[in-house]
Chain A
């Protein structure tokens, strides 16, 4: 498991990163924690002649919470997320989800930006960001632009990011209400068999808003607006859960792999979503 030869760059300025991307186009790739890209390179499933390490770029590893908005730099690690007190208070679902990603060694290196930008349907952060209605900041030759997480994912490893752009930060409106990130996996370090991110608002015993996204059940994360809508206006009773599950099942499109066949994944997706909703509702 040795990658093909590549040139390694460690620029200190984002302009230099963009210049390298412009110069080499599809032959270049930026690397954050490297925990998705390097294994692919070692398996020679990804050949990257020009690898640009973002570790030396300043300003990409900050977390700020102000004016109802959370901003997370692309180089913030999962470990940073877990240990940020302000974040735990403002958006505890981030911590709950991050704790279910891989293992501590990986979380020291793995970044939020890498996790959301890579477009791997197995990654947990993309679905979570769709649930939280996050916005991704992309910097490219023409300056900065924003793309909603819910519009970002096109297919496995295919996103709205252009080859010459770098995802620099993630912005999230401070979430309201109860939350849950529920994930079934075979073992520590595994991608989800099925995972559900749920954020839910309760007023006077009724659900007034609900946001639901699913992980590793299609070739992209799945934000299921219909599943959330099925809960709004209900007391999140059994009928509402059934309706939300049905709506979600209409949106996902799992494929068979070593985790199991499609029928199993769909069943488990329903079970996991119901548990996530129930837990989020109990916290709302």
Chain B
């Protein structure tokens, strides 16, 4: 027998379990153009729907004339709010407790807003139909500045003001102005004020984290197919949370949930953009019900950039206090959050500003207070977590800038300032001032490893020489050393405080072992490129002792997969990964009983060893998992049901807290504003590492999106609310050309509460990368007096910084 000649190491290797850089099983189809994305779905008689969109950012819609459009060959119907109103579908609930127009109900609140839905035989006819719809607009004053929004008499949402002019409470409590959405607080207001008032050193800084967009390569879309014979609605779509979509569709349409099947096929990137529900989904479903035919809706790139969920847009003001020696004593953060025309943020219900209250970062800050004001403006709704857990990128950017600013105020080295304020290893689990309990960490070890790896002291010496040379006229390039140390908070989350629309944020895994020793596992998550089919099979391989290559992972079909809350916020491994391990352990527990029966010993006399159960003290007596699987289906074992299946719904006891230490070395051409990234070092600690190759790929991708955001990517509006960056000419999406070489490194500090100690990694590089790139730009100018300049650091803004510092004279 092959098994008998194999060494234990061979048996471990054959499993391709955790820790193995197993090649991605998804790539065979993706690299051959054989993926199956939503737009690849073609059904008999399928129609195509597309939107008439508002050219104005704020206007009354006084008339919609569809007569000419209906004459366009191939156009079958044009839906307006008036058509949806009898169904109660002209508005829909948002994930943030607000409601949003599906189609313009008397007015529009942002450029690109959906006004009418043209249904046609193909997308070409739909496009012609759109041109033929005549909409009369009456322009209204446009508010694009959230500070202005809180002062103006212009009311964006008349629907949220009472008849008598009073302002009813919103989903998150009292509102102070018609354009105000909520105030959310965390921490101790008075105690923080007291600490700041009595501080030896106090520094205040304001920064704007600009609006940007996740811009997945595949835009959002769906195909809705209502089968009028059996009353079943099938909805294929680019959904990061297919089960939640099923529940939402059921709640708003009244179709019973068992009659709705939601399928997420292959998804070409999500990064948060595909979490929410969009008018296109509702209109496609209605159009399919009305016509009795499948209806497809696919955004084009401009639709995607201009109207589906944006990210960031946080105006942050911080105060940080410290002793003269640099020990941080207090932190205050105020955010004015621009949510656009509707509050459609994708956050857990109780967290309208996401996990912004992780903004004390990796530092032992005893007292802190956070206050966030959400505001309506004439911009697109959204506010998703673009490759980060809920608002963590904003939080980490804030604290990593505040620490740099404090270092400048103190005249200290920013690396040293971080070191003396890090939460110490022995302080974990650490209760932070703003409420979170960090599960584990070893920040000093990671920081020292990072600084040593890049020869930090050498870099600083080189930088000092560069400043001298610049002043002497020998060079026109400055050198920046960007630092960031971040702590993520991912894996949302414990049902006791995390839900979306009342759905607890657990996740799930269901495993069926087949008689011949292979398996299928289905999860409540959905991969959008993360490689779940590869990595979840590895977790299972290690847990149940069957080779990863013999395990199929299936996600995204609500008719077959167990209920889960989907993939975003780096939650798949922390939550569904845990469910997978737990379900695997249930399989193993039953397998142990079967093995004991087969080996004719007591259950407690066998133990698991890689791919088998062995009799304790007699390793030559064993049953492999493959043998046990077969026995489960052909033996009548007293007291044990046939079959080998398990399901686990995992409610995580806590979040997980990955962390990392990044260093960027950048040269900046002062005369052109062009930055050149000479070096980027990224150390990530994501706890137990499931697949090092996939981790490295995730880090590369996250850093690249971080580079984009820090150095140029934005959704910019003019004063009239026109989107200035609606195409990839102006919206910066880096290619291989713009991307530097990344050096990756790691430490491993397992999560103490996660079954396999894994913490999640997909978003860490983005969270840590943005402040690192930005700090590098700031650091290059530190010697010339720069304290704060806002992202994105594109050429002209860097040039402007140099110009304002007098470096062009």
Contact = CB atoms under 8 A, between A and B. Distances in A.
**Bind each other:** yes
A188 interface: yes
Interface stretch (B549-557, B565-573, B731-739): B731-739
Contact of A267 (B301, B674, B716, B808): B808
Contact of A258 (B123, B730, B737, B799): B730
A187 B738 contact: yes
Interface string A255-272: 000111101100110011
Given A44-B131, A258-B716, A258-B730, A264 B124 contact: no
B75 to A, nearest CB: 13
> Looking at chain B's contact residues, is the secondary structure mostly helix, strand, loop, or mixed?
loop
A186 B730 CA distance: 9
B800 A187 contact: no
Contact of B671 (A1, A5, A189, A267): A267
Contact of A261 (B302, B737, B794, B796): B796
B108 to A, nearest CB: 20
Nearest to B737: A188
B796 A187 contact: no
Contact of B712 (A103, A186, A188, A267): A186
Contacts of B799: 260, 264, 267-268
Interface string B741-763: 00000000000000000000000
B1 interface: no
B634 interface: no
Nearest to B476: A271
A271 B671 CA distance: 7
Contacts of B131: 4, 44
A169 interface: no
A211 interface: no
A103 B728 CA distance: 14
B717 to A, nearest CB: 12
Contact of A184 (B123, B674, B735): B674
A258 B795 contact: no
Given A5-B128, A187-B712, A272-B672, A264 B734 contact: no
Contact of A264 (B128, B674, B716, B796): B796
A102 B300 CA distance: 22
A259 B671 contact: no
Contact of A260 (B724, B795, B808): B795
B725 A193 contact: no
Interface string A174-203: 000000000010111111010000000000
Contact of B795 (A2, A44, A189, A193): A193
A1 B128 contact: no
B301 A184 contact: no
Contacts of A190: 729
B672 A271 contact: yes
B595 to A, nearest CB: 58
The winner among A44, A190, A268 for most chain B CB atoms within 10 A is A268
Contact of B796 (A5, A44, A259, A272): A259
Contacts of B729: 189-191
A1 B734 contact: no
B50 to A, nearest CB: 9
B127 interface: yes
B732 A187 contact: yes
Interface string B208-227: 00000000000000000000
B127 A260 contact: no
A71 to B, nearest CB: 32
A164 to B, nearest CB: 29
Interface string B778-809: 00000000000000001110011001000010
Given A259-B796, A260-B795, A2 B672 contact: no
A263 B803 CA distance: 10
Contacts of B301: 1
A99 to B, nearest CB: 12
For chain B, the bracket of interface size reads: 20 to 34
A221 B124 CA distance: 37
B796 A2 contact: no
Nearest to A42: B300
Contacts of A189: 729, 735
Interface in B103-142: 123-124, 127-128, 131
Contact of A2 (B127, B674, B737): B127
Contacts of B794: 186, 260
Nearest to A259: B796
B303 to A, nearest CB: 9
B672 A268 contact: yes
Given A2-B124, A187-B712, A267-B799, A258 B735 contact: no
A259 B795 contact: yes
A216 B738 CA distance: 22
- Could you say which of A103, A193, A259 has the most chain B C-beta atoms within 10 Å of its C-beta? A193
Contacts of A187: 712, 732, 734-735, 737-738
A272 B673 CA distance: 12
Contact of B800 (A191, A264, A271): A264
B808 A188 contact: no
A184 B796 CA distance: 11
Contacts of B803: 263, 267
Given A1-B302, A260-B796, A271-B671, A186 B124 contact: no
A193 B712 CA distance: 14
A186 B300 CA distance: 23
Nearest to B127: A2
Among B300, B674, B729, find the residue whose CB has the most chain A CB atoms closer than 10 A. Answer: B729
A270 to B, nearest CB: 9
B410 to A, nearest CB: 34
Contacts of A1: 300-302
Contacts of A184: 672, 674, 795
A193 B729 CA distance: 13
A197 to B, nearest CB: 18
A76 B367 CA distance: 68
B782 to A, nearest CB: 22
Contacts of A44: 131
Contact of A188 (B128, B673, B738): B738
Contacts of B124: 2, 5
Contacts of A271: 671-672
A258 B725 CA distance: 8
A186 B795 contact: yes
Nearest to A271: B671
Interface string B279-304: 00000000000000000000011100
Nearest to A194: B672
A263 B808 CA distance: 12
Most buried by A among B671, B724, B808: B671
Contacts of A103: 735, 737
B732 A186 contact: yes
A30 B210 CA distance: 42
Residue of A2, A263, A264, A272 ringed by the most chain B CB atoms within 10 A: A2
A261 B797 CA distance: 10
Interface string A240-267: 0000000000000000001111011001
B735 A188 contact: yes
Nearest to A258: B730
A186 B123 CA distance: 33
B128 A4 contact: yes
B130 to A, nearest CB: 9
A268 to B, nearest CB: 5
Given A4-B128, A184-B795, A263-B803, 5 more contacts: A103-B737, A187-B737, A191-B729, A259-B796, A261-B796
Give the 6 A-B residue pairs with the shortest CB-CB distance, closest first: A260-B796, A2-B127, A188-B737, A264-B796, A1-B300, A271-B671
5 contacts: A1-B302, A5-B124, A187-B712, A187-B732, A188-B737
Interface of B: 123-124, 127-128, 131, 300-302, 671-674, 712, 716, 724-725, 729-730, 732, 734-735, 737-738, 794-796, 799-800, 803, 808
Interface of A: 1-2, 4-5, 44, 103, 184, 186-191, 193, 258-261, 263-264, 267-268, 271-272
